Amino acid sequence: MQSKFLPLVLASLPIVAVAQDTRNVQEIIVIGVRDTHTVVTDDTLVAPSDTAQMLRKMPGANINKNGELTGIAQYRGMFGDRIRVSVDGAQVSGAGPNSMDAPLSYAPVALLQSLTINRGITPVSAGQETIGGYVEAKTYAGEFTNSGDFSFDGRTYFGAQSINDGIVASGFFSLANRNSIFRAFVMNESADDLEFPGGTIMPSEYKRERFDLGYSYRSGDHEFSIDLARNNTGDAGTPSLPMDILSIDSDLFRSRYSFDGNDYRVTAELFGSDNAHWMSNFHLRRPPQTASMSNDNMRFRQTFAVSDNVGFSLKLEQYVANGSWQYGIDGHFTEHDAVISNPNAGAFYIDNFNGTTRDVLGVFAERSISLSDSIGLDFGARYNRVSADAGEISANLNPMNMAMGMPVMMNNMASMLANRFNGQDLSQVDNNIDWFARFSIYTDNDTTWYMGAARKTRSASYQERYLWIPMEATGGLADGKTYVGTPDLDPEVANELELGFDLETGDFNIYPRLFYKEVSDYIQGTPSTNMTVNQFSMMMANMGMGLPNPLQFTNTEATFYGFDVDADYALSDRLTLRAVASMVRGERDDINDNLYRISPDNMLISLDYRANNWTGTLESITYAEQDRISATNIEQVTDGYSILNMSAMISFDTDTELRLGVENLLDEDYLDHLAAYNRSFNPDIATRSRMPGLGRNFYARLMWYF
């Protein structure tokens, strides 16, 4: 596979791109975008945690957790590829077929400025394939000054936590004047295995390094920026998956240009990444064992996966008397390869994915208009052309050239599956149409009502199309089942409605939303009817690798509906009560079953106290029992639970801040429904049982601006 990354960087050098206009803030913030304005919530999470955990603070949002650095965004029941995630405007397609390097892992907490989620129906201008929503992470980029002289500024960030002896240290440095910003960032973080009230989660350790260099230029109405980053993840456990991270080495690039005219704005973005990923089932967890409890060298597995992706967007926003128009064109082009091998048998290999491509090219138009002083209308349409293809695959499951026995039988079946796959028409093209419309009506009692409708589409992922042999490389589903793909899957089509209002009285504010979404051709694993696939999966299960009765990605029917709300009430000038509640249902319509890995009903209640130079927070988080589970995915019920958190932030001066806190103060013993199941040997957690929630965790974070 030829790398697209270097040509992309070279081609971008003459391009002018926008500077990120950021300010030093005293708190990482979590932003949830309502229909017309922004929700800001102080972050109270531990310093080394996964950025995706911040989604738990937002109405309707949550995180599917397969490891400490592998959080997958969930919103109103949808997750993974159904949610578009961008980092500073760039879309990152990780190398891991199981989303070990999920998009938000490329925005470490120590570099993060904010996390934004488009609440409810997502405008078509937000990007391609937003059937499940849109999440954007923004990182620190420095700020221009008002002088022609250069000044040196920066921020150091130190964090530690007790739950896994985790530490993080980073430094952001900038040299800036009114026209230029030179910036650099360096970070190192690591942790041991996590603790829970019943023992230790093994393996759950991690290591990560990050290095960034960037430059921004501003002159008149023109702004330009270019950034290069190196994101290296070392040994990192993913106990809900069949393998752990040995390394993920990623080179990231992004650039942006903007021009502000008298009544219009032009924005151009260019981005890309090269990602290389090693994983194994033996270097962090106990190697596979035979019945005699000795290492079974023939069951050792390691995978090398790589991805290239490049993308661009060009937007024109035109301001008119009663609103604005937006027009745009964007593209995202990806290529994936993955090979499974055995370090103890050099001739063994499985082409998991070979030359697999997925390209999306889209155009859109969007209108925002004031129909009167109290009525607004937003609407737009988008066309996406999605093309996908894959190269020929092969495998050798009989590396010792045996004449008979299990390896021979499995190799013969693998050859049959490979020939079947290679004989299909693998080239696929979808032509997808999205649209949305949303009314906002302001009434005299401090209330704004919202009514919205949309049609959103998504084409199948490369795993859903081109997984040819029963494997668990499913984009992080982590249900323990093996899957095969279907190349000619139809695109998902969601028709959705939303109704809600914003009531803002000053002391009391509340923002509830009701939603309903029907999805035709929803892509879901259903029992395989292919005899060879079923026999192969059974033989693997007999060897202790995976479960029998594999699933095949097929088009089904589904419905999502629910309610979410956030609210706050000022009890006094210093004391505020906040609440966030979320409820979602996900159901199959073609059979009587629930959808897999849907977040339980949950509520966050927080009491905040603000003094002159310090703040304190007491927080209760409650999750209901989740018994609406997927029989197809052999999902397990989880009981409800409540945990209590406390935190305090002290500002010693304008440049120094210390945050102290404790999570799960009462050391509650509970199971996390969205953390899937244990896949590694652990004397404290039974294999394939639900992963536990974390125990009591003391943490501290120090930030110093200079």
**Which pLDDT tens digit goes with each residue over 225-283?**
999 999 999 999 999 999 999 999 999 999 999 999 999 999 999 999 999 999 999 99
Using DSSP's 3-state secondary structure scheme, residue 405 falls into coil
pLDDT at 348 over 50: yes
| Confidence (pLDDT) at 540 | 87
pLDDT of 665-699, one tens digit each? 999 999 999 999 999 999 999 999 999 999 999 99
pTM over 0.85: yes
For 539, phi then psi, to 5°, come to: -65, -40
Per the structure block, which two tokens stand in for 410? 């499995």
pLDDT of 15-62, one tens digit each? 333 333 333 333 444 444 345 333 333 444 555 678 888 889 899 999
Residue pair 247/278 in contact (Cβ under 8 Å)? The answer is: yes
DSSP H or E stretch at residue 406: helix 406-422
What is d(CA 486, CA 481) in angstroms, rounded to the nearest whole number? 16
CA atoms within 13 Å, Cβ hemisphere of 148: 0
Q: Which residues pair with 690 in a beta bridge?
A: 677
Per the structure block, which two tokens stand in for 650? 């002290």
Domains of the chain: 5-705 (2.40.170.20)
| Confidence (pLDDT) at 50 | 85
SS (H, E, C) 147-195: CCCCEEEEEEEEEEECCCCEEEEEEEEEEECCCEEEEEEEEEEEECCEE
Residue whose C-alpha is closest to residue 155's, from 127, 189, 187, 132: 187
What is d(CA 278, CA 249) in angstroms, rounded to the nearest whole number? 9
116-120, 380-384, 461-465, 667-671: range with lowest mean pLDDT: 116-120
C-alpha distances (whole Å) from 107 to each of 101, 129, 209, 471, 692 are 11, 21, 12, 29, 26
Residue pair 566/451 in contact (Cβ under 8 Å)? The answer is: no
| Confidence (pLDDT) at 119 | 87
Residue pair 244/238 in contact (Cβ under 8 Å)? The answer is: yes
For 694, phi then psi, to 5°, come to: -80, 155
DSSP H or E stretch at residue 419: helix 406-422
Residue pair 267/20 in contact (Cβ under 8 Å)? The answer is: no
Kindly give, in sequence order, each residue whose CB lies less than 8 Å from that of residue 682, ignoring residues fewer than 6 positions away: 199, 200, 201, 202, 239
Cβ atoms within 10 Å, residue 231: 24
| Confidence (pLDDT) at 291 | 59
| Confidence (pLDDT) at 542 | 83
Provide, rounded to the nearest whole percent, the portion of the chain with pLDDT above 90.
82
* 120: alpha, beta or left? (left if phi > 0; alpha if psi -120 to 50): left
pLDDT of 274-325, one tens digit each? 999 999 999 999 988 875 556 788 889 999 999 999 999 999 999 998 999 9
